[in-house]
Structure formats: C-alpha cells, structure tokens
Amino acid sequence: MNEAIALANLSALSHPMRLRAVRALVARAPNGLTAGEIATSIDASPSKTTFHLNLLSEAGIVSSKRQARHVVYQVEFAALGALLRYLLEDCCGGHPTVRECCASASGDGPGLDC
Amino acid sequence: MNEAIALANLSALSHPMRLRAVRALVARAPNGLTAGEIATSIDASPSKTTFHLNLLSEAGIVSSKRQARHVVYQVEFAALGALLRYLLEDCCGGHPTVRECCASASGDGPGLDC
DNA sequence: TTTTTACTTCAATAATTATTGAAATGAAAG
DNA sequence: CTTTCATTTCAATAATTATTGAAGTAAAAA
C-alpha cells in the first residue's frame, strides 16, 4: 500500500453507489453478485453500474469473472484491510484513539463512542 | 457515523494535498500546525490551502482556532477513528481478513501482508 | 494609524468525474 | 444462424471539484 493506491481506494469508496455496491458485495461474500444483481440492488442503469464497478475494480476493491452470460463481482477484503491498515498505521501513526475505535468494533476493548 | 458522514470523510481524504495535510497534522499532534505551516509542508498557495482545509474541516477531520495572527489546525483523531470503525464494522461486516489487518498493525496479531 | 503578516473569500476558469442513452460485444438458447 | 439476455463501450452532456489570482479581513507591529 502506498499513497497513490490509498487515494485511488478512498476515491473509489467515496461515492454513494460505489459504497453501497461494496456493502452489497460484503453481504453476499464470498459468493459475490452479478453486475445485474448489483445494478438492481443499487438501483442504477447498466452502464452506470459498469462505470462504477470499473472504478472499484481498477482500485482493486472488487474483482470480477465472467460466468456464462453473467459477470460475477466479489469484494476483495484484503484490499479493504490494506486500506484500513494504511489509514490506521501510516496516516494516523497508530494513534491510540483511532486504534481503540477499531478494537472496540470487535467488542473487546472499552466501549468508545466511535 | 452514518453513510453521508462516511462519504464526506472519504471524499475529504481522497485528495493528495488533503491526505498530506492530515499526515502533517498527525505528525504534529496534539499541537497542530498553522495554516501557513501546512501550506509550506504541502507546497500549496494560501487560497488553495484554505480551500482544502475547509473541506477537511467541514468533514470534521480537522478543527481550527485562531491564535493571534495565526489559525492553528489540529487533526481530530476521534473522527478518523469513527471512520475506520465504520468501514471495518458497517461496510466490511467486521470480516476477519479486514479486522486482522488492523490488528496486525499494532504488532500483536500474526504478520499479514496488508 | 499606517504597515505588515496571516489567512480567507470570491469570481472566473480549468479539470475531473458522473450521467445518459444508443450501439456493440459475448454467450447461450431457440 | 437468428434471437435473446447480460453486460460493456462509447460519445455527448451535465455536474462537481479544483485551481488561480486578486481583493478583503483580522490581528499585531511599527
């Protein structure tokens, strides 16, 4: 992970349709969803969906493979993990406040209002 | 944290100057930096710097206060923590792969290549 | 109280990003 | 081999975001 990749990742996630697409894919992991299913779930036209999925794909946040007439998209958890790690470690300097927000998400730390 | 705030946060971070400004502020936390020092450190004109700092400020990622002739900016770690938590928990569903990338950033988990 | 320093605002322009809808492609079914 | 389905591509347009530089504001120094 480096600045350029992190920026591409952040840009890719910073659009409502794309963030929703990612969440839909997370909900259906590890099987993924077809482009058409994603289009339906985010209520977007086919070309719009392709446009946004391409950005996510170029950023490495999703991958795709053709299956017969469908194209199945899957979320790349490792890419998201790398982005979060970069933000936490390289951008926030591993600051305790930030680290504890991530830790408290797993229910083990003290309850913070993150 | 909700989708709209998360999107504003992601947008705010997805510009090279803004991400660098945040990193510069993290490096100087908790004291912060003046607008002029930030401008110097990211090599930007005064108005450009104000423009970008305003976006970060509106997103809640930085705060500012006037001190004599200077305006001192500080990074809001809680906001960054809330964003990371939202991404980890609400967007990634707390998926182990993502969680472990954050955990391994603190050096305690198994070494993953995040 | 004029000048200097530090920063912000504003309006014009440039650049990037997003949307639209029609045409094209790839793959299977008839 | 034509048709249908699923998706992508493309070109035109719209919308948003970023840059520029000049003018304005706030605070302290001269």
How do residues B80-112 score in pLDDT, each as one tens digit? 999 999 999 999 999 999 999 988 767 665 667
Nearest of B46, B45, B49 to residue B20 by alpha carbon:
B49
Shortest CA distance from A2: residue in chain B: B114
pLDDT in tens, B32-87: 999 999 999 999 999 999 999 999 999 999 999 999 999 999 999 999 999 999 99
The pLDDT tens digits for A50-105 are 999 999 999 999 999 999 999 999 999 999 999 999 999 999 999 999 999 988 76
Rounded CA separation B53/B58 (Å): 8
State which residue of chain A sits closest to B85, comparing Cα positions: A102
Q: What is the pLDDT of residue B23?
A: 98
Cβ-based contacts of A100 with chain B (< 8 Å): 81
> What protein residues sit with their CB closer than 7 Å to strand D?
A 34-37, 39, 46-47, 49-51, 53-54, 64, 69-71; B 11, 15, 17, 45-48, 51-52, 55, 66, 68-69
Does the CB of A54 sit below 7 A from strand C? no
Model confidence over A1-22: pLDDT tens digits? Answer: 999 999 999 999 999 999 999 9
Q: For residue A52, what is the enclosing H or E element?
A: helix A46-58
The whole-angstrom distance between A2's CA and the closest CA on chain B is: 11
Q: Answer yes or no: are the C-beta atoms of B80 and B61 closer than 8 Å.
A: yes
User: Which pLDDT does position B109 carry in this prediction?
Assistant: 57
Say what the pLDDT of residue B110 is.
62
- Across chain B, mean pLDDT equals 94
Q: Which domains does chain A have, with CATH numbers?
A: 1-114 (1.10.10.10)
Q: Checking phi first, is residue B32 left (phi over 0); if not, alpha (psi -120 to 50) or beta?
A: left
